[in-house]
Structure 1
Amino acid sequence: MYNKFKFLIFNFFIIAGIVSGVSAADLLKVNNKTQKVDISLYSEIFIDAQNHFSYEDVRTNLFSENFKPLNLHSLSEYNVNDTIWMRFNISNVDENPFFGKIEMPISWINNIKTYVVADDETDEKNPVSTLLSEKKEITGRSFFLPLTIEPFQTLTVYIKAKNANSISFTLWLYSDENAAERLTYITMLNGSLIGIVLIMLFYNIHIFFILKNKSYLYFALYLASLFFLINTYYGSNLQLLWSYDAPLNENTFYPIIAFNFFAGLLFTRNFLNTNREFPKADKLLLFLMGSSVAFGVFAFMLGNNFTVIYVALFLTIIYFLFLLFLSLFSLKKKIAGSVYLLLGWLFLAVGQIMASMMILGFIDYSDFIYDMYGIVVILNTLMLSFAFISNIKYKEMQYESKIKKNHEITSRLNVSKKELRELNEKLKNKIERQEKVLLEKSNNNEKYLIKDEITMLYNKTKLEEVLTQELHRKKRYNSEFSIAVINIDNMKSINDKYDYQVGNSVMKEMADLFIHNIRYLDTVGRWSEKEYLIIYPETKGDQAYLAAQKLHKLVEEAKFFFVGKVTASFGVANSHRDDTLQDIMKRAYEALEKAQEEGGNRVEIV
């Protein structure tokens, strides 16, 4: 959409130029005082959509009307496979010769030729071949075309440029003095950038071999990916690594980006321990690492085409969004170095997206953006280094803290043998005394474990044990036994009217009455909050009924402290041969329920 819009505007200016009678750009005039000029503003362009015309064709008068003023500071086109011709005229209006150089950034343009016409003689040069030849005069990311213009002489310069899918460059004319300053700046910037990355790369590899810590290896791998990335961006790979094949500089650009993505994700995974700290994010991180590898292979096989470009842009956005959000989560979790990690990815995200947009022609070429990428790479490297150092220092502090604690423990344990013997004797005596006390308490506790705290009768656990024994005896020897469940009538009213202490007193008094009026072989205990259970061994149901009648009469005649008269209901049940504990208790409760339904204060048997 942007390209179409830009194309429509461009055609509008062409039509407007034709209508107004403007068919050529202004003549660029120079003299011995000229220092720096933007040639693009004085240039005309012609788009050869069929890639058909040669220099001999376009320099003829027939093509004069086909060249239209550029009227822009830079030439930026994306999604194009066309050949673009640029033409401009330079005139020396001084009586002294003009010595200068034209800067032509060609890091991303693999097919470019220049034709300098003076007095009907043409000097043809191929900037890429010139840069890669052993006889090159200048080594730098830009090609500097030397120009010597005699007094009052006019030169016409043609530039033929074609790239795989986009063209983005601008032309500047410098005097020899200013060109030297510009070249010095470029060389220092590129040299400093590459030097910093290489120094950090070799340092981390060195530390890895000393400490055998994989964290240094992963960081070194990321620095290596940055080294290849910036060298491709600034054209150093073209001159240093694969000078035999200029298109390889562009065709390897996206595989190198994929390598950078993979190394950045691997370093972040190790740095944040995402498999432990962020398990869900770790799965997405592994997926992105696999996608980076797949994209690298895909880009290398297909070369530099539109599909690869759009996939690269999409992956770049996803890559940086993921790293930024992951850094924010680590910052929230207060992982050491997270602030620097976030800043590092933020710097690189801004620089890489801006640089990619400029390389692809979405935005005009700018020396500021071009140089800014090197600055953000250094900032990214420094921030990640700070994050790495902060994280390692934090781990070292934790390790030192553990060592300090261990030393303190060792110091406390480093007691002399004499002190240990004395302490041992004291402990031995103390243990013996404690064992005696515990033995006494254990004997007492055994009593209390089977006794109810209020009534001092057997509790439910002990009653179930005795009842289970009687059931076994019944099945084995067919011996008789019966039980009686006793419920204090209106116990809730007593608690509500007086309080629970009075209620507990009633429970205790009735328990004493039962314990003193049963046989020695009978067992009585507290079954629930207001219920008692009496087990009558060797006793049939009618005999148990009579025994319960006796207890009922004693309860009815007794006077209880503070309350006075209290009544109780009795439910008696005889045992059967195949009874379970639940069976006999069920019959006893049926008898008790029957007594309560008759108004309470009575004995019933089932």
Structure 2
Amino acid sequence: MLERIKKYRTSNGELEQARVISLFSLVGMSITFLMGFIGLFGDNTTLTVVLFVASFVYLLAFLFIKRFDITVSANIIIYSLYLLMFYLVFSGGVSQTGPLWIFIVAPVSVYVLGLRHGVISLFIFLCTICIIMFLPQQWVAHAQYTNEFKVRLFISFLTLSFLSALYEYSRMLAFKNAIEISKQYQQLAMRDPLTKLANRRNAAAILEQEKARLQRNNEPLSVLLCDLDHFKAVNDKYGHNAGDRVLTELSALFTEQVRKQDCVARWGGEEFLIILPQTSSEQARIITEKIRNSVAQHTVNFLDHNIHITISIGISQLSEDQSIDELINTADKCLYQAKTLGRNRVYP
């Protein structure tokens, strides 16, 4: 159950990221196409071609999200954006305004690549921009910018990068806190708060899963319905705190006596349900006697009192045409018989 919840959270997070990346690819495609179209009426043919190519690349990224892998689309988007920014800084764009577009790189990088990889990529990106801007003209002819413009551009970019990283860190922290709170609520919903065992709702869900799985494999499934004998007398004589101590210690004892694939659940009050996959009723009886003897020999120490308790157990094996409710009802009837026959026993 918890594994399914984890997968559900993961798939929801990926879905949200895919939506944002899809939106960015559509926006990027639209803007670059529009600017390329406007460029058709100007005299900068190279810039127009670059913008149309960028628009086509963003279209490919959008199609990859729909048909293939989100990681591929993310890499296409971020690194094609870097290349476009490098060209705009190198060429100057329209009227030397090309460098102004680099400010969109910071928030996109930390969101698409994550905080750590995003910061590293931004550092490499900024170093490359510096190399392009300070490249000597005698080596390669490129757009010229004043030193004041360069300094203000770098300071502004660093400031925006810091704010973007801070926001991404805060977002990640909030997301982790939300996941932790959600996990705690899931634990409360699926676990008994006193014994920390699976509760009735969780046990019912596990039974349905085991029934479907074991029926496919044609394997047996047995359950044990356990009830503490004269538990009300313990509460009346020693108090409810002593009763809680008895329940928690016996819960740990039950867990120690069963296998890893088995499930121990608090069914209600002083009743416990033990689910035994791949176990026939004959095999279950061996396990049941072991549990009954362990409980009978166990002493619960509470304050200055030594409390001895026994249990009665009903066994039921799932048949082909039986529902889960019928399985539990059969175990309950067997438990009643064990009580009727004198308690501290297993039936059948």
TM score, norm. by length of structure 1? 0.29
Greater helix share, structure number? 2
TM score, norm. by length of structure 2? 0.49
Greater strand share, structure number? 1
